[in-house]
Amino acid sequence: MSDNAFHPITIGFLLFLITLTLVPYKHYIDPANLNPKLQQPYQSFPLSERPSIQKIALNLRPEQIWNRTFSQSSFDLGRAIVECQTGGYAITGTTQQGLDASDLLFNLFVLRVDETGNLLWRSSFGGESFDEGYDIVECPDGGFAILGYTVAPESMDMFLVRIDYRGNLLWNQTFDSGYDDVGYTIIRCRVGGFALIGRIEYTQAWLLRLDDDGNPLWNQTYETSPPYNDDTLVECWDGGFAFLGSNDPVNLADTVLLRTDVDGNLLWNETYGGAGSYFCRGLVECRDRGFALAGGIRSIGNVDNDIWLVRTNPYGTMIWNTSFGGAYDESAQSITETWSGQLALTGSAILRSGFNDISFIMASSSGEVLLNWTFGGSQHDRGYSLIECRDRGFAITGATYSAESGWDVLLVRIPGDVNQNMLQRISWIVLTIVLPLLVSIITVWLGFRLLRSKQVHQKMKNRTEAK
């Protein structure tokens, strides 16, 4: 029996491995601890909710929303944010070199803060010119790669900075096409290295693929111009890339979505728009391998922008599009698909008073607005980059303005529901470990029962033949 028993055990083990690959797997990381007492001393923005928006139960804690500002000069702007594996956040953007508002020299900077917004360190990079950071990614060693541009004596070049987890410079690279170049979005590729998207002058998109040390593997150019934002390039499910462009970047006429293979060769492109101004600055690949685009729309005869949201299939064919807005001039800068399949956006709403507020919007997978909040003080507040955090809440970076201090870096944190996330963790464990193990145990048990039944039947047959 011991020899034959090997078969059901083997089958059960193989079934366990197969089930592990078939069940819906979702990588889980423990959420950060959110201690409400730590939010007490923080600055508090007034939160306004549009009365026309349907109230629903979401995995958010609006009563614990907090924000922090960071200032080193009279002009500090947060462009992009990333949540770090060890907790907290890293932000990149632009800072003025001198304290004098008339000083037009700027540097690229990186801020590292903990989970509650306390500053851990700050680093600046650049020369005696104009240097700006547009996007940031965390690297496997805990350091960061930052993309932007630097103004050289004779041209403007794409600028890539690599730092360690303490903010110390490891290396930097510039990329020069021979014309003025700007880098907008950087992503860490699944097979290693980086992909960058930027523009050459205002006429071409420039896609570069680099190794881990910043050495170029290949580059491609395309007859379109990506928008000036950190949210314009994604790595697709097959290792290729998709990015945003425009058929008229000066007038923001129509939006173009371009899709490439792993070597940057163009597979297809689709244009979205109509009469008026249609522009998108945020792009995400959704779990069905289609895409969601976010930006703004201004129809002919209208003086204000409305937020524009577009959803496509994997080949760029539009499934639906919708626009929404109130008595505001509104546009979206960044978009992400949430763990539950909804779409979250951030951007700015220009009030009739002439001041900006940050907008935070959640929409269903079919484009229905589920939640619409604005954050702001008495003057200008702008949202540039949005991420979903490990607790299923969100973090937004941008800038806030006051007459006293000028522009400051702004971090807004919208905590998620940690208790609800614990239920997600239990579900994840059941789905990815307990369920396959249970299926395998049942299979082994049934295998033993079947094997024993065959052995009993064989013994009875042998006795019958012996008689």
- DSSP per residue, 291-322: EEEEEEEEETT-SS-EEEEEEE-TTS-EEEEE
Average pLDDT of the segment spanning 21-28:
39
Our count of domains for the chain comes to 2
pLDDT at position 48 is 45
pLDDT-derived band at 369 (thresholds 50, 70, 90) equals: very high
Same domain (yes/no): 126, 236: yes
Q: Look up the domain containing 242 and give its range.
A: 36-415
- Shared domain for 437 and 365, answered yes or no, is no
Whether 13 and 152 share a structural domain: no
Same domain, 75 and 88: yes
CATH number at residue 375: 2.130.10.10
Same-domain check for residues 22 and 134: no
Instruction: Tell me the C-alpha distance between 143 and 125, whole Å.
Output: 15
Q: Are residues 305 and 297 in contact, defined by beta-carbon separation less than 8 angstroms?
A: yes
What is the value of pTM for the model shown?
0.78
Q: Write out 77-102 in H/E/C secondary structure.
A: EEEEEEECCCCCEEEEEEEECCCCCC
Least confident of 109-123, 214-228, 335-349, 416-430: 416-430
Q: Per the domain annotation, does 462 fall within a domain?
A: no
- Statement: residue 8 has pLDDT above 70: no
> What is residue 347's predicted lDDT score, i.e. its pLDDT?
92
What's the whole-number mean pLDDT along residues 250-265? 88
Q: Are residues 127 and 254 both part of a single domain?
A: yes
Residue 452 lies in a domain: no
Chain segment 182-199, per-residue pLDDT in tens: 999 999 999 999 999 999
**Alpha carbon 159 to its chain's center:** 21
pLDDT at 53: 35
In a domain, 132, yes or no: yes
Is position 235 within any domain? yes
In this model, does residue 52 exceed pLDDT 90? Answer: no
pLDDT of residue 33: 29
Of residues 456 and 114, which shows the higher confidence score?
Answer: 114
465 falls within a domain: no
The pLDDT confidence band at residue 55, using thresholds 50, 70 and 90, is: very low
Residues 27 and 53 reside in one and the same domain: no
Q: For residues 110 and 138, state if they share a domain.
A: yes
Whether 299 and 375 map to the same domain: the answer is: yes
| Position 47 pLDDT exceeds 70 | no
Domain presence at residue 463: no
Residues composing the chain: 467
Q: Pick from 32-46, 290-304, 305-319, 453-467 the range whose average pLDDT is largest.
A: 305-319
Least confident of 47-51, 143-147, 229-233, 278-282: 47-51
Tens-place pLDDT, residues 411-436:
999 999 766 545 555 555 556 666 67
Asked if residues 217 and 209 have their Cβ atoms less than 8 Å apart, the reply is: yes
More confident residue, 214 or 450: 214
Q: Give a yes or no: residue 456 inside a domain.
A: no
Q: Do 173 and 255 fall into the same domain?
A: yes
Angle of CA points 394, 398, 399, to nearest 5°: 140
Residue 403 reports pLDDT greater than 90: no
What is the chain's mean pLDDT, rounded? 82
56-105 residue pLDDT tens: 446 788 888 999 999 888 889 999 999 999 999 999 999 987 655 556 68
Report yes or no on 459 lying in a domain.
no
Same domain for 370 and 425: no
Going from the C-alpha of 439 to that of each of 145, 151, 429, 444, 446, the distances in angstroms are 44, 61, 15, 9, 11
Q: Looking at the structure, do residues 381 and 267 belong to the same domain, yes or no?
A: yes
